[in-house]
Structure formats: structure tokens, C-alpha cells
Chain A
Amino acid sequence: MKSISLYVANNSYLTKLHPFTKLLYIAAAVSIPLLSGRLWMFCTWIGVSLIILTSGKLLRKTFPLIAFSFTILLTIFLIHGLFHTGNTTVIFSIGPLHFYKEGVLYSAKIGLNILNMLLSFAVFILSTKPSEFVEELEKKGFSPRFGYIINSVFQIIPQMIGTMHTIADAQRSRGTETEGSLFTRAKALIPLISPVIAGSLINTRERAIALEVRGFGSGIKRTYLTDHPKSKVDILCRLILYAAILIAVCWRITLCLI
């Protein structure tokens, strides 16, 4: 069963960093360019994320993520480049289409912001095991019930996809058409989706009983299987990131005051 998590267990230094350090990196990478509001700041942080991803041997895994949102970035560029309401100065034309400076700048800012967010999240997502992240959250006082919710999503989804494939095959063998016109495809929706949903809801009853028997509802303090102490690298990274955020905030405040 294929997991839906994108975690890559390649044992690089990134996977060994504490999850919270990587979270702080996201906070810094997203907030600092927004605070400064400069286009070159977005580019700098995109560069930093790319360097980190390369050094963690994760760059190849990043491309599918970018490709996923590339079409949306393209739509934004086209719509605003061509039709943005403040458009006055033409910068270039392709045939009858005129691209305007204001719209292109506006879409560049949105596009860079999205790309920056994507890449900084990729640093976290590709190098952090979800269950490890949940365990660290629980150690900080996060409710173990919510921890269970997150962990079990990763077990339930591959299971449900498996069930769905079984049901899809069964329905096809009974003659359900899953390809063709929009109406044919829409008609296939109900026989495909309702057995999976009803079945998985009915399963929750048994799961609830099984968990209850194993002491899920107990309020006693839990112990943890693994220990992940902060390393010196973690502390150093956090200090640098806090300092960077602080500088950006101070710079913004001085800008407002002058």
C-alpha cells in the first residue's frame, strides 16, 4: 500500500533536524518576504529553499510539487497580464494579445509568493516523518486524541483507496461505465462512491470499540517510544531564524515610523 505522505527516508541531515526547527524555517521563509514586501526578497528565499533542498538530496522530489501548481500560476499570469483592472502600459505583445506591466508585476508578486511557500513547505514535508512530528507535538502538550486523528488518517486512506479499487472493479464487471461523456461519468459517481463511504463509516464502530478496549479514553500520562533531543545544529539554526525574523520586523517598524 502506497502511503500518501511524501516523506523521503534518505537519512540526510535534514531528516535528522528537529521538526520544530523546520517549522520555524517555514515561518521565517513565509513571513520575512511578506514583511519586507520586496520582490528580490521572495527570490532570495526561493534560492535559499532550493539550496537546502539540493543539499538534502530532495530536489528531484520537489519538481512534481511545483509542476502541480504550475498550471494555476500560468492562469494567474495570463488573466492578470491581459485583463488586470489597473493595466495601462503595454510591455510586450504576442499577436493580438497585449501584456501589461501592472498586471504582470501583480501576477509576479503572487506567483513568487506561492512558489516561495511551496518550496519552504517542501523542506518540511519531504524530510519529516508525520508520526515523528505528531509525537513531538504530543510531547509539547498536544492532545493525544488529535495525535491519533492525524496518525490514523495515514493508515485509513491507503486502506480506503484499496477498497475503492475493489469496488470500482466490481461495479465495472457489473457493467458500470466509468469513461465517456460527462453525463456517463457523473452517473458512475454514485455506485462508486456510496459503497466505500457507507462501508468505512460502518467500520468506525468496530474501530471505536477496539480502541476503547485498549485504553484510548484513559487520561493517564503517556510515555513515548522514541526520544529526539535537540542537537547543537538545531539550536544554532533556530537562533539564526529568530534573528532573521526579528530583523525583518524591526526593519518594517522603522519603515513605518520614518
Chain B
Amino acid sequence: MKNLFKTKFNTACIVLIPTCIGINYLGKLIASTLKLPLWLDCIGTCIGAILGGPLIGAICGAANNLIYGFTTGDNITLIYALTSLGIGLAVGIMARLSFMKKTSGALLTAVVGGLTAVVISTPLNILFWGGTTGNIWGDALFATTQASGFPVWLGSFLDELVVDVPDKVLTLLIVFAIVKFLPNKLVSLYTSDDTIEKLD
């Protein structure tokens, strides 16, 4: 258990972070090119979290939103830096508890990551957007709950839930498929529990 948050801050891990941020961007780009009703904007964060551990995942997530917020004009993402940080941390912890070895474990990780995102995003949604998320399916559900008199927080929670959990499930299945086939000489750069043996 003591290795849960152990992180190597070597050059390899530092280089991993911008790559993961780039992957996040690509995921979002592909989702919008294929017009999928999901975000797919945290593939990189999850890869970072699985390879580098919870702390690298958290840094990937937070840096991702901060960089895009301050440079690409999509500054609403700034406040969701907290959500991304939470996803990175949650997925990283699940991976360190070796849940990412099997597909069923990957699904469980996805649910945990998705719920973390929902719990952190809902208050932010209510505060800044009055409860909407900007996703068509989720907002349609939000409008229905508001029309039938549910409180804003419950509507917003459901709005986020129906989008975030399927989104994270698909994300982590993609991540699981990719990480499984990465060459060992790459993965070993990031593992923190290796020991050095001396021959003399």
C-alpha cells in the first residue's frame, strides 16, 4: 500500500505529461470529427495515471485544463481543472491497486473515474452554468427534470451522470487496449516499484 502515491519525477515522466495532454486534445478532436455524443477528452489523463501513477495523472489532468484555458480561449475549461485532477487521481489509484489488469477491472475503474468526475463537476456546473453541461443528451434530460419540478442539483447530477459514466467507460476501454500492447521497454521507464540489483 505504501507505493500507492510513489512517483518517479524523472525526465521520462515529465515528457509523458505533454504527450498525454496532446492525446487528450486528439481524443476531443476525433470525437468532434466523428460527431460522437461523448467528450473523450481524458484518454491522455488516464494513460498518464496508469503509466506514471496517481500524481502524474493528477498533474496531467490539471495542466491539461490550465493550458487550454489560458491559451486556446476555451477558458470555461479552467474551472474543470479540478474535475480532471480528480479523474487522474482516481484512475491512478485504481491502477496502482492493480485493477487495470483485466477488462472487468478496467470497467470498474471507469465507473469510479466517472463517478469522481460527476461528484466534482456537478457543483461547478450549478455554480457556473446553472446546471447544464453543454452535451445535448444530458441537457435534454436536465430540461425534463427541471420541467417536472426536481431540484436543480438532482437534475444536474443526472445530467452529468448519463454523459460522464459512458464517456469514461469508452475512454478506459480504449486506454486498456492501448496500454496492454505498449512495449515493455517503454512501460518500464515509468514503473516505480523496480529495484536495482548489484552484481558485485
Contacts and interface: CB of A to CB of B under 8 A. Distances in A.
B147 interface: yes
A69 to B, nearest CB: 7
Interface stretch (B66-74, B86-94, B105-113): B66-74
Nearest to B136: A75
A196 B132 contact: no
A78 B63 CA distance: 33
Given A5-B71, A197-B26, A208 B130 contact: no
A158 B9 CA distance: 26
B22 to A, nearest CB: 4
A65 to B, nearest CB: 4
A80 B125 CA distance: 14
A75 B135 CA distance: 10
B181 to A, nearest CB: 7
A76 B142 CA distance: 11
Interface in A196-255: 196-198, 200-205, 207-208, 211-212, 216-217
Interface string A183-201: 0011011101110111011
B162 interface: no
B81 interface: no
A153 interface: yes
A256 interface: no
B139 A75 contact: yes
A160 B132 CA distance: 32
B196 interface: no
Given A156-B18, A205-B189, A79 B11 contact: no
B27 A193 contact: yes
Contact of B73 (A65, A188, A200, A217): A65
Contacts, number: 183
Interface residues of A, number: 72
A200 B19 contact: yes
A39 interface: no
A1 interface: no
A67 to B, nearest CB: 11
Interface in A117-168: 117-118, 121-122, 124-126, 130, 133, 145-146, 148-150, 152-154, 156-157, 159-161, 164
B34 A188 contact: yes
A145 B17 CA distance: 11
Contacts of B10: 208, 217
B152 interface: yes
Interface of B: 9-12, 14-19, 21-23, 25-27, 29-31, 33-37, 43, 47, 63, 67, 69-76, 128-132, 134, 139, 142-143, 146-147, 149, 151-152, 174, 177-178, 181-183, 185-186, 189
Interface of A: 4-7, 64-65, 68-69, 71-72, 75-76, 78-80, 82-85, 106-107, 110, 113-114, 117-118, 121-122, 124-126, 130, 133, 145-146, 148-150, 152-154, 156-157, 159-161, 164, 178, 182, 185-186, 188-190, 192-194, 196-198, 200-205, 207-208, 211-212, 216-217
